[in-house]
Amino acid sequence: MTQNGADTLRLDEPQAAVAGNFSIGPYRILGLLGEGGMGRVYLAQQIHPQRQVALKVVRGLSSAVVERMRREIEVLAQLEHPGIARLYAAGESRIDDVDVPWLALEYVRGDDLVRHAQERNLDLAARLRLLIEVARAVHYAHERGVIHRDLKPGNILVDDEGRPKVLDFGIARLREDGAQGLTQDGQVLGTLPYMSAEQLAGDSSRIDARSDVYSLGVLAYELIGGRLPHPRLNTSTIFEALHILRHDEPPRLATLSPVARGDLDTVIMKSLASEREQRYASAADWADDLQRIIEHRPIMARPLTRMYRASRFVRRHRLLTAAMASIVLILSAASIVSLHFALAEQHARAEADQRAREAAAVSSFLEQMLASADPELSAGRKLTVEEVVDQAERDMQRLDGEPGVQRAVATTLSHTRRALGQYEA
């Protein structure tokens, strides 16, 4: 475990960090894990039961430091959660004629949250699951009146089994801190790049669960986007940092990482709002929306329009949607084919009817043409074939509205002219 600020643990070579072995209380010191403003953290061996622990020992004996150590013990004693490093024991030991407070914590073997994700090249879903687990653990603490106030990668270690653990509640705030005066207005505690505006302002009355939600948003931004929302905070004074948070908007996460486009960008940027009222009301609400993203369900951070719900349904049920689309496509194709054949059949029927009507009209015309040669109709005079054909050609003019009949009659008359040797006609 490594040291990334006050009281943050990291994996070093602990045997080289301590000159010789010694004991504190019932623990044999194996090496130094980390060192911060409030004290030192040692890797220690407990005999009964046999296990290694992270032993935190107060550095300096000022009343404020000792009180904070006692407050951390009080906080951790309330928190029994798989996502929070457990408190095994606490006490005081006589060292150099001075009673030194200590607490024994669960020793987490692993890397910090960001390094773990980078070294294992975790995909987006795996990173979101880690964030969800961390948020659930933080919400558990919030339900018991504990605000962490120093959530950062170094205070969240991921063990060998891939489970994140929240560490270091040394500056955590209890609901009754205001009454007891441990955290005073104007006092700024935490790590600048991960602190909310109200925390930077030192306004203890405004620090609540939403302050930790902001820190979770910074963690998520860094874990997915590869950088902090406000990188300048690493080198800023408190006053400069407060101005940056209040007046500078961080780049949208979607501009840094294509995988963050859409709902994920909305969720993370909402948690990073400079005004706490615009953030998620709780870490659990934030975790719920991240879970909805993994499951392709509508998030609560945006209006639930009908089109938006439909798009989430399609993403959530890809196979079902694909199957339904295939069925619709097949039915549409079948309908088109059926319509084509129906239209073709209708066209063929209409054409057959037209041919029948034309045949009947031709037959009727020819009957009239032959009837005109009847002596009774020609005043007793016998007509020649040529005269009959001439009369028929004149009568064809009344067939202008029936081109098919005209063509059939003209063909018959042309054959007759040819039989008569009248080729030009």
Q: What is the pLDDT of residues 211-269, one digit of tens each?
A: 999 999 999 999 999 999 999 999 889 899 999 998 899 999 999 999 999 999 999 99
Residues 86 and 290: their CA atoms lie apart, in Å, by: 26
Residue 317 within any structural domain of the chain: no
Q: What percentage of the chain has pLDDT greater than the value 90? A: 43
Residue 318 within any structural domain of the chain: no
- Clarify whether residues 160 and 243 are in a common domain: yes
Residue 333 within any structural domain of the chain: yes
- Clarify whether residues 380 and 234 are in a common domain: no
- Clarify whether residues 184 and 332 are in a common domain: no
Boundary of a domain, candidates 57, 83, 106:
106
Residue 80 in tokens: 């029994």
Cα 288 to the chain's mean position, in Å? 12
- Clarify whether residues 128 and 63 are in a common domain: no
Q: What per-residue confidence (pLDDT) applies to 258? A: 93
Residue 28 within any structural domain of the chain: yes
The neighbouring-strand residues paired with 159 are 110
- Clarify whether residues 127 and 161 are in a common domain: yes
Burial 39-76 (b: 16+ CB within 10 A, else e): bbbbbbbbeeeeeebbbbbbbeeeeebbebbebbbebb
Per-residue pLDDT tens digits for 138-168:
999 999 999 999 999 999 999 989 999 999 8
- Lowest mean pLDDT, pick from 77-91, 301-315, 353-367, 388-402: 301-315
Other Cβ atoms closer than 10 A to 185: 11
Distances (CA, A) of 350 to 129, 346, 353: 68, 6, 5
- Clarify whether residues 183 and 221 are in a common domain: yes
Across 51-97, where does the E strand assignment appear? 51-58, 87-95
Residue 6 within any structural domain of the chain: no
- At 354, is the secondary structure helix, strand, or coil? helix
Going by DSSP bridges, is the β-strand pair 156-159/110-112 parallel, antiparallel, or unpaired? antiparallel
Phi, psi angles (nearest 5°) of residue 200: -65, -35
Res. 360: pLDDT tops 80: no
Res. 29: pLDDT tops 60: yes
- Clarify whether residues 295 and 369 are in a common domain: no
Instruction: Of 5-19, 226-240, 335-349, 387-401, give the range with the top mean pLDDT.
Output: 226-240
Query: Of 395 and 383, which is predicted with more confidence?
Result: 395
Angle at 385 between CA 383 and CA 390, to 5 degrees: 90
- At 144, is the secondary structure helix, strand, or coil? coil
CA nearest neighbour of 285 among 142, 78, 117, 126: 142
* Residue 33 near residue 41 (C-beta atoms within 8 A): yes
Q: What per-residue confidence (pLDDT) applies to 94? A: 79
The neighbouring-strand residues paired with 90 are 103
Residue 32 within any structural domain of the chain: yes
- Clarify whether residues 95 and 126 are in a common domain: no
Query: Of 89 and 408, which is predicted with more confidence?
Result: 89
- Clarify whether residues 149 and 217 are in a common domain: yes
Q: What per-residue confidence (pLDDT) applies to 69? A: 82
Res. 7: pLDDT tops 50: no
Question: What integer best gives the mean pLDDT of the chain?
Answer: 80
Supply the range of the domain harboring residue 332: 323-419
159, HSE (Cβ side, Cα atoms, 13 Å): 15
Res. 182: pLDDT tops 60: no
Residues 20 and 349: their CA atoms lie apart, in Å, by: 107
| Residues identified as active-site | 150
- Clarify whether residues 147 and 245 are in a common domain: yes
Residues 111 and 160: their CA atoms lie apart, in Å, by: 9
CA nearest neighbour of 266 among 311, 222, 232, 221: 221
Residue 424 within any structural domain of the chain: no
For position 155, which CATH number holds? 1.10.510.10
Boundary of a domain, candidates 78, 106, 134:
106
Residue 168 within any structural domain of the chain: yes
- Lowest mean pLDDT, pick from 106-120, 237-251, 297-311: 297-311
Boundary of a domain, candidates 310, 331, 366:
310
3-state secondary structure 218-278: HHHHHHHHCCCCCHHHHHCCHHHHHHHHHHCCCCCHHHHCHHHCCHHHHHHHHHCCCCHHH
- Clarify whether residues 140 and 94 are in a common domain: no
Residue range 288-299: average pLDDT?
94
Per-residue pLDDT tens digits for 32-74:
988 876 778 999 999 888 999 999 988 666 777 778 888 888 8
Q: How many domains does the chain have?
A: 3
Amino acid making up residue 401: G
- Clarify whether residues 132 and 223 are in a common domain: yes
